[in-house]
Structure 1
Amino acid sequence: MSTIYGPPVPASGEQPPPMPWRPPGGPGGDGGAGNEPGGPVRRPRRRRTLAITAACVVLVLAAALGTGLALSTTPAAPPKPVSRTSAVAAAVDPGLVDVVATLGYQNAISEGTGLVLTSSGEVLTNNHVIDGATAVKVTDVGNGRTYTATVVGYDQSADIAVLQAQGASGLKTVTLGLSSKVTVGEAVIALGNAGGKGGTPSVATGKVTGLNEAITATNEAEHTSEQLTGLIQTNVPLQSGDSGGPLLTTAGTVIGLDTAASSAYQFQSSQPSVTAAFAIPIGQAVSAARQIAAGRASATVHVGATGFLGVEVAEYPVPFTSRTEALVLGVMAGLPAARAGLVPGDVIVSVNGHAVTSPSGIQALLEPYHPGARVSIGWQDVSGQTHTATVVLATGPAD
């Protein structure tokens, strides 16, 4: 079914110390334009169907040339020093992965970035990067190897997901900082898989322009949106594919997880002079990741495989009322909804006896269930007749 996001999870408490992240046990393991904070913004996630040209960032390294006879008295130009930004990028790059998610039911590809949290291959990224994924691969920048990844779990309301690179060991990890110490005006660096090009991560710089910001983030490819709060706002020119990448201090510690950029400025020129970009504070992100890794499911956190009804729904406003309905747009053959007899045009009205008035309601009610669970679905057909059936959920894509 279509992806609908719930309410945000506020940041709480002090952020984690600047040390490698370790989970406390448990399984191993992207609207309208908007410039102002609170306005809709576009996800910096890339689908293969989007035509985006990524700028190539070249790291200039000083090199010593061979010796020879002195034929001129003109002194040679000194080698160019490596910039501080380049040095930070070179140090952090090995702790990153490129994420490529196959969205089988949408016939599309999603590309993003991830942070390696543990040497055994636990990876932190945005949920919207892997939303709808039927398969995920990650390429470790540090060793160049590509791994099949499983989705350990996700929190849609916080836009966080944890992946596990299968068979990974000895991976380089990122160093986490204190997002609670971030100040407006502070210089920051963002690394990521800009344009989905892979290889050496792209580098972008800027400053913090706001704290504790709230936005409506829109994934134009899927016509879905979510509310996020407590965000770090910057003027870093993020690109599609940077989602899930690190926002760094000039010392190279991670203070945020890049998640969205303003569509008002994005892609208007090859070198946008002004942007509004947003990152989830790393303390907030890691708090959700720890809960996922520990296997502690909740009303917003899903751990393990996703139960699948096999139906696409959309919010439909009831004419002349303030009510909305969960209208069925499509039903996938051979999956639970189809076997139960649902067809396009039906309206889902209940899940396990709980009333449903929107797709988000269905999402919330199905969130706790896994493949194999038996769930009662109630719906109304185009003639107004009500039906009820018990279905066994299939294994579906990550939500």
Structure 2
Amino acid sequence: MLSTAVAATAAIGAAFGLAASSATAAPASTSSTASIHAALGQNSYGYGYGSGGYGGYGYGGGSGSNGTGSSNSSGTSSLASATSAQEVGVVDITSQLTYAQAESAGTGLVLTSSGEILTNNHVVEGATSISVTVVATGAQYTATVVGTDATDDIAVLQLSNASGLSTAALDTASDATVGESVTGVGDAGGTGGTPSASPGTITALDQTITTQAEQTAASETLSGLIETDADIQAGDSGGPLFNASDQVIGIDTAAEQGGATTAGYAIPIATALTIAGQIESGQGSSTVTIGYPAFLGVEVDSANDATGVASSGATIAGVIDGSPAAAAGLTAGDTITAVDGTAIDSASALTTALGAHAPGDTVSVTWTDASGASHTAGVTLAQGPVA
């Protein structure tokens, strides 16, 4: 039996989210599979990427299209408010998604008194600027990205000029059990203020969900999740799943909507902290990106990537005004054929080539214009939105 799943980042001024369908959960300690569809700018599910995709802007992959629509989240009027103890170490996160012309809201946890923040990657993915509010005090900060892991949906942020912050109480014992009482807390609805609180129990462990790619949200599979019947809602992403002692055992990440029962999903806190530790150490990998990606500023046509048909390059569908690509003279309709002398035969090849560089690097870009003339220019890559 299929139901519709929704995740937990809320849209502000636009309909964001992730609509999803999911198979009925398997018994405790087994793995079920949910198919989660990222309906950006359409059905609400809180993976809060915005009302349109910037596609390959900056990364060289994919083409985005603006979307419209309204949120279909179930609302927050029936939710309780978090206690003062549950507010400690919790922050609201607002991300500006300039290239999607949108804004999203989520939640996070304070890891250090100097302002290191743990949240979901999807809360900040595509962000060009991030602001954070400490729930207990109302203090506001700008934040930068220390690193992200899109595969495991974890991000670490650093607040600017923060000190003396109260940190979240974490339970890293990894001893969660089915039937245990829990409470999901977060910025449900993205309204700010006192967080919402949804009580429930753990209904299963070691669960797996798979998202479907849509606009700025790439497909991903998340495994080893805690399943709960707490009413996790849009805006809760990155927020705490508390045990009965008000200790954080997981990070609210996703939820089903439209089924016979409520099912929310959280990344175990021990898993999240392991990934955060790798990010903090500056150890980049095939899944972990340290800092911000290099940004060229083009949207490319990925149709050939999808079909597997070979092409002579990466065709540009759009160029961002003021970007390095625009300064170099690239325009829509041009085809990028090489970066630093390495042949480019697809959008994904361009993504890979750019991914090997950091903001500030100068690369040689070769392209063919609509008339067939070849051009080569040195391009200094800018800082891109969050990967």
TM-score using structure 2 length: 0.75
The aligned residue for residue 40 of structure 1 is: 36
Please give the alpha-carbon distance, in whole angstroms, between the structure 2 residues aligned to 1:185 and 1:138. 34
Match of 2:325 among 326, 337, 350: 337
Q: Distance in 2 between matches of 1:344 and 1:248?
A: 50
| Residue of 254, 261, 270 corresponding to 1:283 | 270
1:305 Cα deviation after fit: 3.8
Q: Do the aligned partners of 1:217 and 1:260 also contact (CA within 8 Å) in 2?
A: no
Distance 1:320 1:142, change over 3 A: closer
Tell me whether 1:370 sits opposite 2:358 in the alignment. Answer: yes
Distance in 2 (alpha carbons) for counterparts of 1:225 and 1:346:
28
**TM-score, length of structure 1 as denominator length:** 0.73
Task: Verify: 1:54 aligned to 2:76, yes or no.
Answer: yes
Amino acid at match of 1:230: G
SS at match of 1:35: strand
Q: Please give the residue correspondences for 1:1-399 in structure 2 after superposition, counting only pairs within 5 Å.
A: 33-36=20-23, 37-41=33-37, 43-46=45-48, 50-51=70-71, 53-55=75-77, 57-59=79-81, 89-178=83-172, 180-218=174-212, 222=216, 224-262=218-256, 265=257, 274-317=261-304, 327-348=315-336, 351-352=339-340, 359=347, 361-379=349-367, 389-399=377-387
- Structure 1 gap ranges (5+): 1-29, 60-85
Tell me the distance in 2 between the aligned counterparts of 1:162 and 1:235. 27
Specify the structure having the higher radius of gyration (Cα). Answer: 1
Shift of 1:38: 3.6
Alpha-carbon distance between aligned partners in 2 of 1:201 and 1:320, rounded to the nearest angstrom: 45
Contact 1:256 1:279 in 2 (8 A): yes
RMSD of aligned Cα (Å): 3.1
Aligned residue pairs, count: 335
> Among the aligned pairs, what percent are the same residue?
45
Q: Is the 8 A contact 2:305 2:346 kept in 1?
A: no
Cα distance in 1 for residues equivalent to 2:342 and 2:287: 17
Structure-2 change in CA distance of 1:396 and 1:197 (3 Å)? same
Determine if contact 2:49/2:126 at 8 Å carries over to the other structure.
no
Cα distance change, pair 277–292 in 1 and its aligned pair in 2 (3 A) = same
**1:232-266 C-alpha deviation (Å, 9 max, x unpaired):** 2333322111111112222222222122223xx2x
Contact 2:360 2:382 in 1 (8 A): yes
Deviation of residue 352 (structure 1)? 4.4
- How big is the shift at 1:344? 2.8
2: distance between equivalents of 1:320 and 1:134? 31
Q: CA offset at residue 129 of structure 1? A: 1.1
Q: Bigger CA drift: 122-131 or 42-51?
A: 42-51
Amino acid at match of 1:111: A
Segment of structure 1 superposing worse, 98-107 or 328-337 = 328-337
1:328–1:346 CA contact under 8 A, matched in 2: yes
Q: After TM superposition, give the deviation of residue 357 of structure 1 in Å.
A: 6.0
